[in-house]
Amino acid sequence: MKNLLRPTLVLFAAMTLITGIAYPVIVTAIGQAVFPRQANGSILERDGKPVGSELIGQQFDAPGYFWGRLSATTPNPYNAQNSGGSNLGPTNPALADEVKGRILALHAADPTNTAPIPVDLVTSSGSGLDPDISPAAAAYQASRVAKARGLTLDQVYRAIEQNTSGRQFLVLGEPRVNVLRLNLALDRIQRVH
């Protein structure tokens, strides 16, 4: 037993130094040197003050703002500490009730909009934190936002187009619109009070 104690303690100390100190320091230094903005949370600012990360969705429910995907985190929406999907299957009545509730909210916010509602406006993402919506989801909300802000539809569509990101490396993923970035761009045109 004594013969095993010394090598075990040496190995424990070495692995603690390597994996608990050296590795995190090296990875943090590389992240700060190569990707400083991302390593620090991709924080967006308005008037020099941080308003959120472009990597985590935020709750927007005023008519003059674009709304993001539903958040599956509880008890607070977009709570990164509780990240995870709802795990509700397509036949689960709770999922159907959630979708119906969001459809009613979208119709109540813009009763004249008869366009089909994009699926990403009525379902949550796998993480419950998705900061992006599809260009179709942004287009669906454009008339409500334009009316609430007193802007023309062309101004709102231009803002959507300017804040749409294409596929990563031209092949990965789908085009997407970052909701926070889009709402900040619209605030630069005309801030909602």
Instruction: Look up residue 185 and give its DSSP letter.
Output: H
d(CA 45, CA 42): 10
* Burial of residue 88, with CB atoms counted within 10 A of its CB: 0-12 exposed, 13-18 middle, 19 or more buried: middle
Alpha carbon of residue 106 to chain centroid: 19
pLDDT at 193: 59
Helix (H) or strand (E) holding 181: helix 179-189
The amino acid present at 102, given as its one-letter code, is: R
pLDDT at 165: 93
Count of other CB atoms within 10 angstroms of residue 176: 21
pLDDT at 70: 85
pLDDT at 86: 67
Question: pLDDT below 70 — which residues of the chain?
Answer: 85-86, 192-193
3-state helix, strand, coil in the chain (%, to 5): 50, 10, 40
Distances (CA, A) of 91 to 50, 84, 129, 188: 41, 19, 23, 43
Please give the mean pLDDT across all residues of the chain.
Answer: 90
pLDDT at 186: 95
